[in-house]
Amino acid sequence: MNAFFFGLGFSAQSAVRFMRESGDFGAISGTVRHAEKANRLADCYHLVPLFDGTAPGAAVGPALRSGITHVVLSIAPDADGDPVLRHHRADLDAAEDLQWLCYYSTVGVYGDFGGAWIDESAPLVPRNMRSDYRVLAEQQWRDYAAARGVPLAILRLAGIYGPGRSGFDKLREGTARRIVKPGQVFNRIHVEDIARVTALAARQRLAGTFNLADDEPAPPQDVIAHAAGLIGMDAPPDLPFETAEMTPMQKSFYRDNKRVSNKAIKAALGIELLYPTYRQGLAQVLESEQ
């Protein structure tokens, strides 16, 4: 099996590591937006073509036609839809060995449920344009996969964290805040759980739409306090949501309050998460730093 990633970002690069460790994959390639990153990753991947989503990537088509069997899509859509389908649908059509597609979406597509538990059967009522775009992109990929006759896994990701991207970083920088909105909870997902699930789903050519979130949605202020305790720092003071200065994007996250079930993906793959709560996940991040 040979894999191609549209968007070699934080989650995708972790998924590549798990794919390589599984021994199931041969050549692995992926796109980046800038030549500097392509040069930096050149020795780590079979091919690293440029693609910034605004125009076709000149080297993407030949790469897809070079025996690629699995394609993972980790690029955000925009107001005009999914940039990969917009610029490279014909190249995907020409990828004769294509066997599986995976699309990284977001639990933001559900919108607000007042803190209630939801699963994949919940209606989609997104509360911001970013999530609106995701709903449309999900359907574009379902339509494409059906027309192509290739299985598609849509993974709806919760808030992603891991080494180099966690509450520890903000605490050390002095930018962490404990914004308190009573009753507010969020799900999270450790990047290595995304990676492991991607690799397992790829091996099985899993099809369907699945939430990928942790077992314990929690108030954000509790997570920051726990992280502070792990590194011997005082937790920042409580900051009421009503008085907290936030960007419109930051405020938009607090419009959604729900508890997202991950039972379907665990049942489909026969697994438990590596890091089922933020406590195990933060412990791993700290251990990786040491």
Statement: residue 290 has pLDDT above 90: no
Q: Which regions of the chain does DSSP assign to beta strands (E)?
A: 3-6, 28-30, 70-73, 100-106, 117-118, 152-157, 159-161, 178-180, 188-190, 208-212, 238-240, 259-260
Determine, yes or no, domain membership for 8: yes
Please indicate, yes or no, if residue 237 is contained in any of the structural domains.
no
pLDDT tens readout for residues 72-119: 999 999 998 999 999 999 999 999 999 999 999 999 999 999 999 999
Residue 224 near residue 178, CB atoms below 8 Å = yes
Question: Tell me, what CATH number does 105's domain have?
Answer: 3.40.50.720
Domain count, the chain: 1
| Residue 50 pLDDT class (50, 70, 90 cuts) | very high
User: In this predicted structure, what is the pLDDT of residue 57?
Assistant: 97
Residue 183 included in any domain: no
CB atoms within 10 A of CB 58: 10
| Residue 222, helix vs strand vs coil | helix
CA 205/CA 198 separation, integer angstroms = 10
Has residue 99 been placed in a domain?
A: yes
Look at residue 174 and tell me if it is in a domain. no
CB 19 within 8 A of CB 202: yes
Q: Select the more confidently predicted residue: 80 or 280.
A: 280
Q: What's the pLDDT tens digit per position in 125-180?
A: 998 999 999 999 999 999 999 999 999 999 999 999 999 999 999 999 999 999 99
pTM: 0.97
Residue 66 lies in a domain: yes
Dihedral of CA 171/74/112/271: which sign?
A: negative
- Domain containing 20 equals 3-161+189-214+260-275
**157 within some domain:** yes
Is the predicted pLDDT of residue 206 greater than 90, yes or no? yes
- For 245, counting Cβ atoms within 10 Å of its Cβ (0-12 exposed, 13-18 middle, 19+ buried), the class is exposed
Averaged confidence pLDDT in the chain: 97
**Residue 71, domain member (yes or no):** yes
Q: Does pLDDT of 49 surpass 90?
A: yes
* 17, 21, 25, 30: CA torsion to nearest 10: 10
Q: What is the pLDDT of residues 57-70, one digit of tens each?
A: 999 999 999 999 99
- DSSP string across 226-240: HHHHHTT-PPPPEEE
Tell me if residue 290 falls in helix, strand or coil: coil
